[in-house]
């Protein structure tokens, strides 16, 4: 078959929340240019779907014969159908409508090959169903299905690695050895190990302050949400807690005590007299001071639906005027040019973030408020001055890309508000997500039949997926693995575990009598204990040399550590993708699909049957997709 050109390749990577796509392969591979929510909305006709929410205006028409008016809401997710859940396709009609929507939006030319990144949980029958839909509906000249783990391997340029794909509601752990996926022990769609578990934990911690699940999701994606190491010290700038905060925030979060020493359990939280939950007046934090805001996240949506919007706007304008006057007064009284110190997020007991209030916006849309009224509400809760102040006195480690992201979304019509969060933002993974994921990784690597490959799998750990995008997640998972399963190379347990089974255990006197299969170390003077441990850790050494000639090698001689690893390392990502380096490698599966597409459709040209052509489909039907794989 004639080779395809760069601009004749379409890559689609459907996910539980986001679907990535791109037409063409640029000279320097870039992140996906087309991103769409992996959801569709029911259309007016049964069995049909729309990509966005369509609302019917309730305002009475001017003429009785005129038809009702509709408007398209690009931000709302009310009534959305998500066809992919935990990696599985639960609604095939909606899934096919999503693929068709992506294809029609990109509108590729007729002679365009398609490479679809398949979820590991998809069955062969589902592969056939997808191939049938694409060939009969989209009619491409060629189709390739690629496993997500294999695509990640192509992105990192490795042949052996342990792929940990942390998604929205699940995680997939795959061991790949010499480009061969080990199906035995492969962990597919492991629940309660994805980004949703982190959001659920934040929602539990912040429920008493009125934080909805949607707000907690945005908090998780913000720069202030971070997973700190186990030995992190949550103190203020001067090294001790401030007067209105617990001296040990970690102890306050778990026990309610002000500190970890004696005499610190005299608070009402430690005595069990307050309800469970974070925030002032609960088991996290001190008693609320006078004048503090006790509303948490103000429910403005209920104010709007109650018809008190005008009073709320007047109050907000008055508050803004008072704050502006106080700021001017403070600037005149204070020294010129004095600015608070810039502290990293981990050194702050409290920090603020900006979120989009979709509930308020939906409530105003349902009440048929005009665009001007929505703009007035957006201006009333505008967080521009607060963000400017945060840029001057905020996080020293806040990425500049996040500020640009805030400015971009401020033009999108969403109502953006600001909220303050305490040490709960460091406890997203405190629900046991890391421990569960570490156990799954250990079981997967231990299930690899080639014992000699396990150490290489431990030293090539790849963590991808948008669920791992939380700051510090990868480092915390690596630390959990090292804490639970890492053993020291110099430990006596490992030394004796590497001895052949036909050697007796050394006695307290140091005496050891080898069995008959290994002759005594006469002549060369090689100690069999030292030789056994050395050859076990260095399998490339010739076992016939070193004074052990003439005897048959025992079958029980170990060549590597079969159970626990001696080192756990993260694989290093290649540095020749500058655009990906700036965006992050959480979506490296799409980068691997780009590399594989170039190899499949341009270099290999179908010689290795890496993709299925239209001729193959006409001759073999959907079942022929099983003969075409990477």
Q: What is the pTM of this model?
A: 0.72
**Whether 242 contacts 169, CB under 8 Å:** no
Token pair, residue 514, equals 């080898």
> What region, left, alpha or beta, does residue 241 occupy, with left being phi > 0 and alpha being psi -120 to 50 degrees?
beta
Token pair, residue 236, equals 């203020």
From CA 429, how far away is CA 496, in angstroms rounded? 37
List, for residues 61-77, the tens digit of each pLDDT value. 555 556 777 778 887 88
Give the per-residue pLDDT at 408: 43
Give the per-residue pLDDT at 288: 41
- Return the number of other C-beta atoms located less than 10 Å from residue 498's C-beta: 19
In DSSP notation, 495-560 reads HHHTS-TTBPPP-TTS---B-TTS----SS---HHHHHHHHHH-TTS-TT-SS-TTSPPPTT---S
Give the per-residue pLDDT at 303: 60
- Burial of 598: CB neighbours in 10 Å, binned 0-12, 13-18, 19+: middle
On the CB side of 606, CA atoms within 13 Å amount to 14
**CATH code of the region 6-40+81-157+574-627:** 3.30.420.40
Domain boundaries, the chain: 6-40+81-157+574-627, 209-330+343-426, 492-505+518-548+557-563
List, for residues 329-368, the tens digit of each pLDDT value. 665 555 555 555 678 888 888 899 888 877 766 666 666 6
Q: Which residues of the chain have pLDDT under 50?
A: 236-245, 247, 250-251, 253-256, 260-262, 267-296, 385-394, 398-412, 492, 495-496, 518, 521-523, 543-560
């Amino acid at each position: 078959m004639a080779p395809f050109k760069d601009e004749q390749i379409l890559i689609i990577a459907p996910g539980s929340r986001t679907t990535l796509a791109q037409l063409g392969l640029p000279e320097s591979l870039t992140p996906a240019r087309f991103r769409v929510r992996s959801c569709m909305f029911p259309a007016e006709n049964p069995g049909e779907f729309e990509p966005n929410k369509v609302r019917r205006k309730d305002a009475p028409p001017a003429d009785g014969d005129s038809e009702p008016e509709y408007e398209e809401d690009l931000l709302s997710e009310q009534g959305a159908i998500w066809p992919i859940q935990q990696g599985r396709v639960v609604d095939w009609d909606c899934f096919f409508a999503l693929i068709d929507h992506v294809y029609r939006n990109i509108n590729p030319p007729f002679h365009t090959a398609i490479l679809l990144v398949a979820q590991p949980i998809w069955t062969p029958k589902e592969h056939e169903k997808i191939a049938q839909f694409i060939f009969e509906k989209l009619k491409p000249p060629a189709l390739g299905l690629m496993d997500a783990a294999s695509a990640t391997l192509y992105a990192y340029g490795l042949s052996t690695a342990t792929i940990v794909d942390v998604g929205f509601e699940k995680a997939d752990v795959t061991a790949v050895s010499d480009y061969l996926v080990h199906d035995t022990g492969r962990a597919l769609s492991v629940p309660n190990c994805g980004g949703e578990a982190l959001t659920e934990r934040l929602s539990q911690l912040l429920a008493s302050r009125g934080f909805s699940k949607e707000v907690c999701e945005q908090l998780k994606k913000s720069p202030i949400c971070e997973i700190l190491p186990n030995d992190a010290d949550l103190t203020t700038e001067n090294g001790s807690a401030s007067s209105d905060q617990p001296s040990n925030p970690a102890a306050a979060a778990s026990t309610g005590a002000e500190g970890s020493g004696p005499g610190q359990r005299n608070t009402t939280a430690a005595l069990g007299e307050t309800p469970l939950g974070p925030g002032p007046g609960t088991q996290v934090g001190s008693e609320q001071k006078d004048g503090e805001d006790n509303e948490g996240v103000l429910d403005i949506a209920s104010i709007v639906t109650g018809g008190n919007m005008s009073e709320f706007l007047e109050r907000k304008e008055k508050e803004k005027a008072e704050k502006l006057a106080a700021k001017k007064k403070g600037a005149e009284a204070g020294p010129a040019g004095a600015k608070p110190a810039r502290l990293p997020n981990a050194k702050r007991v409290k920090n603020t973030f900006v979120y989009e209030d979709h509930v308020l916006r939906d409530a105003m849309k349902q009440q048929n408020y005009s665009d001007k009224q929505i703009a007035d509400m957006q201006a009333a809760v505008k967080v521009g001055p607060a963000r400017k102040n945060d840029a001057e006195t905020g996080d020293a480690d806040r990425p500049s890309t996040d500020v640009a992201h805030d400015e971009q979304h401020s033009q999108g019509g969403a109502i953006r508000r600001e909220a303050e969060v305490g040490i709960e933002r460091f406890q997203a993974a405190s629900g046991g997500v890391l421990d569960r994921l570490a156990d799954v990784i250990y079981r997967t690597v231990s299930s690899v039949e080639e014992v000699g490959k396990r150490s290489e799998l431990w030293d090539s750990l790849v963590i991808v997926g948008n669920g791992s995008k939380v700051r510090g997640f990868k480092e915390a998972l690596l630390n959990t693995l090292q804490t639970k399963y890492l053993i020291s190379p110099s430990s006596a347990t490992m030394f004796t575990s590497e001895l052949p089974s036909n050697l007796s255990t050394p006695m307290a006197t140091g005496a050891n009598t080898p069995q008959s299969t290994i002759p005594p170390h006469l002549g060369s003077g090689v100690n069999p204990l030292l030789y056994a441990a050395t050859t076990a850790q260095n399998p490339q050494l010739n076992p016939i040399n070193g004074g052990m000639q003439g005897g048959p090698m025992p079958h029980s001689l170990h060549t590597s550590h079969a159970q626990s690893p001696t080192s756990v390392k993260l694989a290093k990502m290649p540095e020749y993708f500058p655009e990906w380096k700036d965006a992050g490698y959480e979506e490296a599966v799409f980068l691997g699909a780009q590399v594989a597409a170039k190899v499949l459709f341009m270099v290999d040209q179908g010689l290795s049957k890496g993709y299925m052509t239209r001729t193959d489909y006409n001759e073999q039907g959907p079942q022929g997709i099983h003969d075409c794989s990477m």
